[in-house]
Amino acid sequence: MEHKAGPMNRPLWTPGVLVMLVFMFAGALAIIARFTGGIGYVTNLTNARPWGIWVGIDVATGVALAAGGFTTAALAHIFGRHYYEPVTRPALLTAVLGYTFVVLGLLVDIGRSWAIWKPMFHWNLNSVLFEVAMCVMIYLTVLYIEFVPIVAEQFKGRVNLPGLLSKLNNLVDKVLQVADRILGKVMWIFIILGVVLSCMHQSSLGSLMLVAPTKLHPLWYTPLLPLLFLTSAIAVGYPMVVFETTLATASFRLNSEMHILAPLTRITIYLLGIYMLLKLGDMLVRGTWVYLLDGTYQTNAFIVEVLFGVMLPWAMLLCKTIRHSSKGLFTAAALVVGGVVMNRINVFIVGYRSPLSENGYFPAPSEILVTLGLIAALMFIYRVVVTYLPVLQESKEVS
Amino acid sequence: MHITRRNFFRFMGAAGASVAVRPPSVHAWQSQAPPDPFGCLVDLTRCVGCRKCEEACAKVNDLPEPERVNCQCTIFEKDRRPDDTSYTVINRYYTGTVDVFDKPVPTYAKVQCMHCQDPACVSACIVGALTKDDTGAVHYDVSKCIGCRYCMVACPFEIPAYEYYDPITPRVMKCTFCQERISKKGGLPGCAGICPTEALTFGRRQTLLGVARKRLKENPGSYIQHIYGEKEVGGTSWMYLSSVPFEEVNLPLLPDTPSPKLSETIQHSLFSYLWSPVLLFGVLGACMARFNRGNDQKQNNADKGGA
Ligand code: SF4
Ligand code: SF4
Ligand code: SF4
């Protein structure tokens, strides 16, 4: 094989990792505070503003940015573009970690964390949130199953548990062998299932606000919300891969993967274009452009989102020189990612209008610390996994 | 991907059959409102702001005594909302009307759950902890609740409150319509039972609509000719009459369409019998079979774990 993923075998404890640890520690303190003093003790949430950044960023944005997992799987495995296979593994890892942290974020956010299993037994088929929860739950399982072969590849035949556990070496090894063999045969089911589940809940995340027609600013409230969420998730998939691959290759000083990333973003021109057309068309058809110049912070947030998060990067990607310069490509990808982040924050936080009370909400410091701590923990685990498991492409020469 | 043709068609056959057996039938959205619910008519022209209803509500629902329970003056200086310790509050509004001596006339307005006919909170609740029963009451079952607060996001009247300072077992708190009391024959809600000026009239919603229309007709000068809650978000069990514009006493301007209509229509037309996911699975499976044909052998090694 030309491309071979391998463990990084670099020292784990770099200064960057230590910074992550500091944030994780601060986040952990804030989480302890949440579970002793209550949600109100660490957040600025009120009865008028029941959802804040824990839903808007940890959950909604987390799900959107994990879209690289299903979009690359669809491209490489379903549509047979095997050329892109090297990026499927890091994207899968991002998805596994992203969704794990979505669930962790939810556990912190919902009032009765210990009751999180209840939707499995009490169904409300009218509830969009119910569908999202079911899909996320099943999809997370599917993602872990898709990840098993990577673990198997690394440890098959050389399971070496420390101390007393070493008696289990043979058994674990056998389990890995068997799992790997069976999974190899049925993996296609999980790959398709993963894409289907992703389409379902990525779009339904957008439907969440449809039940509150009077509470979301008309610039965002449209019956197309589910379609916009789906198309934006699909559009952000490859830019997110570019974004993180560039960061990872830079941080590990690997060969940049420009030969894969550049053509990958050519597809993004179409995907992002579809999203842009839908978004602008929707604004024209519903006539919501009348709000555009009213100068409120919500309108300004919308303008920034569309101009810098959709139109600018789209125009940049059109330009071949930018696509083939690693800096230009990274900037465009970062803008797309930022645009989708802004969109999710706008829909769930900025565009939300409490009908009767004062509308002000800004997250409390401890609320922000929880979010930052979770993100730091995610990055830390990513680093640990790529250090020890074959996820990233082994570099041919190290500078 | 070992997606052999035989495997694939076997699988798709099963999927196809399940669709054929239960064709996706997409019904037009239908209201789930109970046929003959109770209601309560609040006549703001009669309310004198005595706050007896606040007190009675706290008593029958085992809530802490309302803030400064006997105060009928300075308590009104700030606008209050129902919260996790009170299901109902009275607010005072000066809307510009003056009496014969040029003194501004206050309007007092009671706030509580409206017990919507097609409640957004009920449609939203992930576990169905909120239900609307035949009495018309929207009932909260804490034993199912997971605390996602989606009901609070959904409610157009900003009613459900949350016990934000309870770390482990917080509850959603809102007016119960005194469900247990009104289920008994002749039972009255705590608030409506105590109101000294008959500003609160309890009864069947249909009957109350008649009462309201009669009042509007007999005293056309003293009312705005509108029954708030007759049509708002598809109708509510609690309804208001007023002499001042409803928006000015914090009753928001709302469309007549029930809030859950759009989201439920979209959800059910997309996902009833899971027809769209099954279809998508089929299409993607076909693509996979088509684009990976002949690649099987070559891809074997690469795909192992390349998921
Ligand atoms: S007013 Fe709000 S809480 Fe009460 S029934 Fe209607 S939607 Fe539910
Ligand atoms: S907070 Fe409780 S009652 Fe409200 S939607 Fe969530 S589970 Fe249902
Ligand atoms: S109906 Fe019952 S719970 Fe609701 S405000 Fe009146 S007394 Fe309180």
Interface of B with A in 259-298 (CB under 8 A): 259-260, 262-264, 266-268, 271, 277, 280-281, 284-285, 287-288, 291-292, 295
CA atoms of A324 and A67, how far apart (whole Å): 23
A213, B262: Cβ pair inside 8 Å? yes
> What pLDDT is recorded for position A13?
83
Ligand nearest to the CA of B202: 3
Residue nearest to atom 5 of ligand 2 (CA): B125
**Does position B99 have pLDDT exceeding 90, yes or no?**
no
CB B124 near ligand 2, within 6 Å = yes
Interface of A with B in 37-96 (CB under 8 A): 37-41, 43, 45-48, 50-51, 73-74, 76-80, 82, 85, 88-89, 92
**Does position A196 have pLDDT exceeding 80, yes or no?**
yes
Q: Report chain A residues whose CB lies below 8 A from the CB of B150.
A: 127, 129, 208
B250 vs B300, which has greater pLDDT?
B250
CA of B107 to the centre of ligand 1 (A): 23
Rounded to an integer, the average pLDDT of A358-368 is 90
Quick check: A4 contacting B, CB < 8 Å? no
**Which of these, A282, A349, A301, lies nearest to A60 by C-alpha position?**
A349
> What pLDDT is recorded for position B2?
47
The percent of residues in chain A predicted with pLDDT above 90, rounded, is 69
**Does position A294 have pLDDT exceeding 90, yes or no?**
no
CATH class of A45-361: mainly alpha
B128, A127: Cβ pair inside 8 Å? yes
Ligand nearest to the CA of B142: 2
Separation of first and last alpha carbons in chain A: 23
Cβ contact B162:A41 at 8 Å: no
Cβ contact A236:A67 at 8 Å: yes
Q: How far is A18 from chain B (nearest CA, A)?
A: 31
Amino acid identity at A396? K
> What pLDDT is recorded for position B297?
44
CA of B146 to the centre of ligand 3 (A): 24
Range with lowest mean pLDDT among A40-54, A123-137, A188-202, A244-258 = A244-258
Predicted ipTM?
Answer: 0.92
**Does position B129 have pLDDT exceeding 70, yes or no?**
yes
**Can you tell me which atom of ligand 2 is nearest the CA of B152?**
4
Q: Report chain B residues whose CB lies below 8 A from the CB of A144.
A: none
**Does position B4 have pLDDT exceeding 90, yes or no?**
no
CB B224 near ligand 2, within 6 Å = no
| Nearest-by-CA chain B residue for A208 | B263
**Does position B298 have pLDDT exceeding 90, yes or no?**
no
B150, A129: Cβ pair inside 8 Å? yes
> What pLDDT is recorded for position A121?
95
Residue nearest to atom 5 of ligand 1 (CA): B115
Rounded to an integer, the average pLDDT of B132-161 is 96
Mutate which of B261, B288, B292, B299 to test chain A, going by most A C-beta atoms within 10 A? B288
A213, B259: Cβ pair inside 8 Å? yes
pTM for the whole thing? 0.90
φ and ψ at B132, to 5 degrees?
-105, 120
Query: What's the token pair of residue A117?
Result: 């299993």
Q: Report chain B residues whose CB lies below 8 A from the CB of A111.
A: 145-149, 162-163, 166, 170
Interface of A with B in 88-107 (CB under 8 A): 88-89, 92
Interface of B with A in 64-83 (CB under 8 A): 81, 83
CA atoms of B307 and B305, how far apart (whole Å): 5
CB B283 near ligand 2, within 6 Å = no
Pocket of ligand 1 (CB under 6 A): B 113-116, 119-121, 138, 155, 157, 159-160, 174
Quick check: A359 contacting B, CB < 8 Å? no
Segment A109-141, tens digit of pLDDT: 999 999 999 999 999 999 999 999 999 999 999
Q: Going along B122-237, which residue ranges are E strands? A: 130-132, 138-140, 161-162, 172-173, 200-204
Range with lowest mean pLDDT among A41-45, A60-64, B21-25 = B21-25
pLDDT band for position A30 (cuts 50, 70, 90): very high
**Does position A97 have pLDDT exceeding 80, yes or no?**
yes
pLDDT band for position B295 (cuts 50, 70, 90): low
A133, B83: Cβ pair inside 8 Å? no
Cβ contact A136:A69 at 8 Å: no
pLDDT band for position B27 (cuts 50, 70, 90): low
Segment B198-251, tens digit of pLDDT: 999 999 999 999 999 999 999 998 999 999 999 999 999 999 999 999 999 999
Cβ contact A72:A237 at 8 Å: yes
pLDDT band for position A49 (cuts 50, 70, 90): very high
Sequence ranges of the domains in chain A:
45-361
Residue spans of alpha helices (H) in chain B: 5-21, 52-60, 120-124, 150-154, 179-183, 190-194, 205-218, 260-271, 275-291, 296-303
Three-state DSSP string of A201-241: HHHHHHHHHHHCCCCECCCCCCCCHHHHHHHHHHHHHHHHH
**Does position B117 have pLDDT exceeding 50, yes or no?**
yes
Rounded to an integer, the average pLDDT of B87-98 is 93
Residue A99 sits at the vertex; the CA angle it makes with A94 and A105, to the nearest 5 degrees, is 125
**Does position A376 have pLDDT exceeding 90, yes or no?**
yes
**Does position B16 have pLDDT exceeding 60, yes or no?**
no
